[in-house]
Amino acid sequence: MHNLPSQNHPNRRAYNWLAYNIGDTFLAAHTALYRGHLFDLGCGEMPYREWFLQYADSYSGVDWSSTLHELKADVVADLNEPLPIGDQVADTVVSLSVMEHLLEPQTMLNEAYRILKPGGVMVIQVPFMWWVHEAPYDYYRFTRYGLQYMFQKAGFDDVHVTPQTGFWVMWIIKFNYQSTRLIRGPWPVRKLVALLMHGIWALDQRLAPWLDKHWKCEEETLGYFVVAKKR
């Protein structure tokens, strides 16, 4: 894919590029939604900023002052609280891998609805079968049904939830993360094991999508994408 949305993401590695490619495919399929003034809630180090600006007129990143990443936000605010942003000023709101880190995720969805203009759209990604990360700031995992309920509670009435993967991609990505622990010991051993694992990771991440296609199982997906519209 030309100009990958995640090409500048600091966490993209040889063992997990498939997960990022799946996210890229989803984001690229919805470029018509990124327009006007776009707000990125929980923007981190803004790895998607330049990519979104190919489609949106302007970009504002929102994050809190206690972020575990380098603070680059245009708006410094706690997403668990009301945002210092006016009503109906956003055409698009995005939030990628953020809701699990919020004590009050419903507050973020309520605020996203408030700042969106009528006809505006929110696009998010959240984990489901994913390990605890950025501890201790990791609180929730979300199902399709929980997401549908939370978005409707916020006021959205046009909500589409899509599984990120099936079982096999989920299982292989988790295996890959676990197998990075094998790369240890004296330098020659680490080098040899790393070469072996890179070959396995390259192969299994190409095999997993084929297995998902022919052995469908949404119940153990890595996570979900949501597109929700404010009428």
What pLDDT digit, counting tens, does each position of 86-106 carry?
A: 999 999 999 999 999 999 999
Question: How far is residue 85's CA from residue 69's CA, in Å, rounded to a whole number?
Answer: 22
d(CA 127, CA 51): 22
pLDDT tens for 144-188 read: 999 999 999 999 989 999 999 999 999 999 999 999 999 999 999
How are beta strands 223-229 and 90-96 bridged, if at all?
unpaired
- Cβ atoms within 10 A of the Cβ of 80, count? 15
How high is the mean pLDDT of the chain? 95
DSSP 155: T
Residue tagged 């408030």 (tokens): 114
Name the residue with higher pLDDT: 71 or 6.
Answer: 6
Averaged pLDDT, 58-85: 91
CA distances in angstroms from 43 to 5, 96, 231, listed in the order given: 14, 8, 25
